[in-house]
Each structure stands twice: as C-alpha cells, then as structure tokens.
Structure 1
Amino acid sequence: MRVDFDPENMPAHDFYRLLTSVVVPRPIAWVSTLTADGETANLAPHSFFTVSCVDPPIVQFTSVGRKDSLRNVEETGEFVVNLAPEQLFAEINATATDFPRHEGEFDAVGIAREPSLRVRPPRVAGSPAALECTLHSTLRLGDSTVVFGRVVHAVVSEEALVEGRPDIRMLRPLARLGGNEWSTVGEVSELARQRYQDEPRA
C-alpha cells in the first residue's frame, strides 16, 4: 500500500519537506562569494547541487529564495564551490545561519580562508577540494534561482588523491538528507559498468 501526496493540494513547504526527504543523499556545495565592494566574504551550504555539463565544465546550485550567495554571484559573476568535509560538520552547519549580508560567515564562524587562483572569492582552507567558477547563467524557477557556473579552475588536496584521482574515502564529503538529517560516507562499493557488446549471448 502507498500513500499519495498531491503538490497541488499541499502547502509548498510541506511538499518541500517531502521532496528533500526523498531526493537523498544530496551533495553540498559550500559556496563562497564576495560582496560587490570586495569587503565581505560570504560562505553558505547549498544542498541543491550537481554537475550540469562536462564540456565545458559547468556546475549548478540552487538558491531557494534570494540569499546572499545569489546576490553576490549576480553582482560579481564569480563564486567557489568548496567540498563540505566531514571534519568541518559543525562549521558547515553554522554557516547556514542567516547572518546579515555585511557579516561574513568566514569571520563570524572562524573559518580559515585561502586565496583562489582564478576568481576573487576565497576558498575554504580546510576543504579538500574546490571548484573556482565564473557565472555562466541563472534560471529563475518559482521561488528559486538555479545558478550555473563555469569551472575555470579546480584544486584538490594532495593527500586526497589516489593514483591521480580524488578518492571518496579521503574527501569524506557530507551530504544532506531530510529534515535536520545529514550523512557521511559509509560503505563504498565498486562495480564496473558493463558494455552491451560484452554481455553474454545465448
């Protein structure tokens, strides 16, 4: 037996809670931006995040409502997606606080920063990987805005690389689940994708 949920007959927030409990786990884009005057460095986690395109390399995150990350990206055209690592769990959650725009989360939470190579917003020094992005475009959908960023530079900590590739066991990324739930990397399984021409035939 199944229970039906009709988004047309439910408050939007209630259906949002359902969606975010079903679409799991979600990777976290820990987005760093600068205000237009360059005075304040903002940092916020966004769990509506994925890769949009490979060639050219484009990633996307969604701002539900008009948050500081979105305003800064629109005004400066730049941002950094920092991987949200398990060891900074408390700090990542703290940067989701609705600080005033002029009060940067790096300073308010006490997060070490480092300069980026190709864009002005700083990177999180303690994050094992970061994608420096320039704004490609935005798409407004209802109460949300999807931000597409072209990756112009990537950096990965040397200790997180295994045979030249970032290793999930070393990155230890956090993910969002439903409600106030988060998850960490559990058991990792490997299974190669099988090609049609290699499948056994009767």
Structure 2
Amino acid sequence: MHYGPDNRTLPHNPLKAIVAPRPIGWISAMSRDGRLNLAPYSFFNAVGDDMVAFSSTGRKDAMTFAEEGGEFVCNLATWDLREAMNDSSAPLPRGVSEFDFAGLATAPSRLVRPPRVADAAAAVECKWLQTVPLTPLDGSEAVNFLVIGQVVSIYIDDRYVTDGLVDTAAMIPIMRGGYFDYFAVRPENRFTMRRPKGAGDYKGG
C-alpha cells in the first residue's frame, strides 16, 4: 500500500512507526529567571561529532528555556527511569518543575546552568546555537522547530565505562517507536561490525 495525500486509509500517520526506534532526548533547560523544565523528545539525534538537535512541535518550554538561558542538557533515558521519563511529558503549566512532578533529583552540570537528572547514566551538556523554523512546502507558518546545540561536556556514570569505552547496552537505553511503543537496548541485542578497509574505525562514530 501507499500512504500519502491521496490515501489516508490508515488511522494514524505511519511515519513514527517506520522511523523507529528513535533515541530520546530527555531535555533539561532553565529559563532566564531560573525556572526548570524537563521533557522527552523523540525527534532527537546527534547531528555532528559535537552537535545535537531536537525538534519541537510548537514553541514548548524546553525550546524557549534553551533559547532564553542559552543552554540545555540531554539526559539519557534508560529502562530504570522509563516511568519518570514518561511522567515528565505531562503538560504542566510553564515554570512548574517536571523534576518535582516526576520525583527526580537534580545534579549540577559542569559547564552549563541547567542541572542533569541525578540518576541518569549519562548526560550531554550543550550550548544553544540556533532554532530553525521548519517551514512547510506550502509556505505556511512553521509549527515545527529544530533546536541545535553544541556539546561542551559529557557526564557518564563510571559504572558504564570499560577499558576507555562507553558500554551503551549496559545502560539499557530506551527508544521510541510508533504509537505507544518503546524499545529497550540490551546487551544480548548487541552485535559488532568493522567498517570496510579504508573507511575508518572509531573516529567520527
């Protein structure tokens, strides 16, 4: 079948079920006046060796706080924190702390003002670079915004560093699928492939 403007027979847009599983950017940000926001974004990824981006539908607090404060933190969403991560997506009034609502402790970041989730296995501290309005083909006003940050420091729980390498699977990251689906990355699902000769190895990811 084909799904598009001329065929909407499926009850939901299948894009999120196809572009999946997706990493979750669990974004903590602080407003100009020091209020905190914590929210998960599944339109999130690394977009360079030292840059990340997340996309917000509408000008939500994570985006506006990142702009106001000029900084944000991407906390790693993991299996043990799945319920708290989900709770932090509740539509709370502006300035009400999702940390408090989800029962999460904060820990100070190293180079940015917004704190990280204290129990997160890893957290990426970022300086806000720009927000790009994603204007649709028809030229109508943008409702989606791409928030780009440069990584300035990374926290990793020492338990997940072995022989100088981060053991991603041991942290059991969770990822977003379509609808209400999530996926967990576990050690038993890991496999390794070396790049073809001349294509490089660890450098550049």
Fold match (TM-score > 0.5): yes
- Give the letter aligned to residue 193 of structure 1: R
Q: For 1:58-97, list aligned pairs within 5 A.
A: 58-97=51-90
Residue of structure 2 aligned with 1:29, choices 19, 25, 28 = 25
Q: For 1:29-48, list aligned pairs within 5 A.
A: 29-38=25-34, 40-48=35-43
Determine helix, strand or coil for the equivalent of 1:138. Answer: strand
- Kindly indicate whether the alpha-carbon contact (under 8 Å) linking 1:159 and 1:170 is maintained by their aligned counterparts in 2: no
Work out whether 1:189 is the aligned partner of 2:191.
yes
Structure 2 portions without partners, runs of 5+: 135-141, 200-205
Work out whether 1:126 is the aligned partner of 2:125.
no
Q: Separation in 1 of the partners of 2:8 and 2:93? A: 32
Q: Separation in 2 of the partners of 1:4 and 1:10? A: 9
Alignment correspondent of 1:6: 4
Q: Percent identity?
A: 37
Q: Separation in 2 of the partners of 1:10 and 1:66? A: 28
Determine helix, strand or coil for the equivalent of 2:65. Answer: helix
Structure 1 position 120, deviation (Å) = 0.4
- Kindly indicate whether the alpha-carbon contact (under 8 Å) linking 2:87 and 2:101 is maintained by their aligned counterparts in 1: no
Structure 1 position 9, deviation (Å) = 6.1
- Give the letter aligned to residue 29 of structure 2: T
Work out whether 1:172 is the aligned partner of 2:172.
yes
Determine helix, strand or coil for the equivalent of 1:189. Answer: coil
Structure 1 position 8, deviation (Å) = 6.5
What is the CA deviation profile of residues 110-133 of structure 1, one whole-angstrom value per residue up to 9, with x for unaligned ones? 101100111100010110111100
- Give the letter aligned to residue 21 of structure 2: P
Q: Separation in 2 of the partners of 1:160 and 1:172? A: 11
Alignment correspondent of 2:137: none
Structure 1 position 7, deviation (Å) = 3.9
- Kindly indicate whether the alpha-carbon contact (under 8 Å) linking 1:33 and 1:69 is maintained by their aligned counterparts in 2: yes
What is the CA deviation profile of residues 49-79 of structure 1, one whole-angstrom value per residue up to 9, with x for unaligned ones? 111112xx11111111111101101111110
Q: Separation in 2 of the partners of 1:120 and 1:154? A: 14
Q: Separation in 2 of the partners of 1:103 and 1:136? A: 25
What is the CA deviation profile of residues 104-159 of structure 1, one whole-angstrom value per residue up to 9, with x for unaligned ones? 10111110110011110001011011110011111111321101100011110100
Alignment correspondent of 1:51: 46
- Give the letter aligned to residue 50 of structure 1: N
- Kindly indicate whether the alpha-carbon contact (under 8 Å) linking 1:78 and 1:135 is maintained by their aligned counterparts in 2: yes
The two structures have a TM-score, normalised by structure 2, of 0.87
Q: What root-mean-square deviation, in Å, do the aligned CA atoms of Structure 1 and Structure 2 show?
A: 1.8
Q: 1:103 to 1:195 in 2, by over 3 A?
A: same
Alignment correspondent of 2:147: 147
What is the CA deviation profile of residues 18-46 of structure 1, one whole-angstrom value per residue up to 9, with x for unaligned ones? 110110000001000112100x2110000
The two structures have a TM-score, normalised by structure 1, of 0.88
The number of equivalent residue pairs is 189
- Give the letter aligned to residue 177 of structure 1: G
Q: Separation in 2 of the partners of 1:151 and 1:196? A: 28
- Kindly indicate whether the alpha-carbon contact (under 8 Å) linking 1:63 and 1:144 is maintained by their aligned counterparts in 2: yes
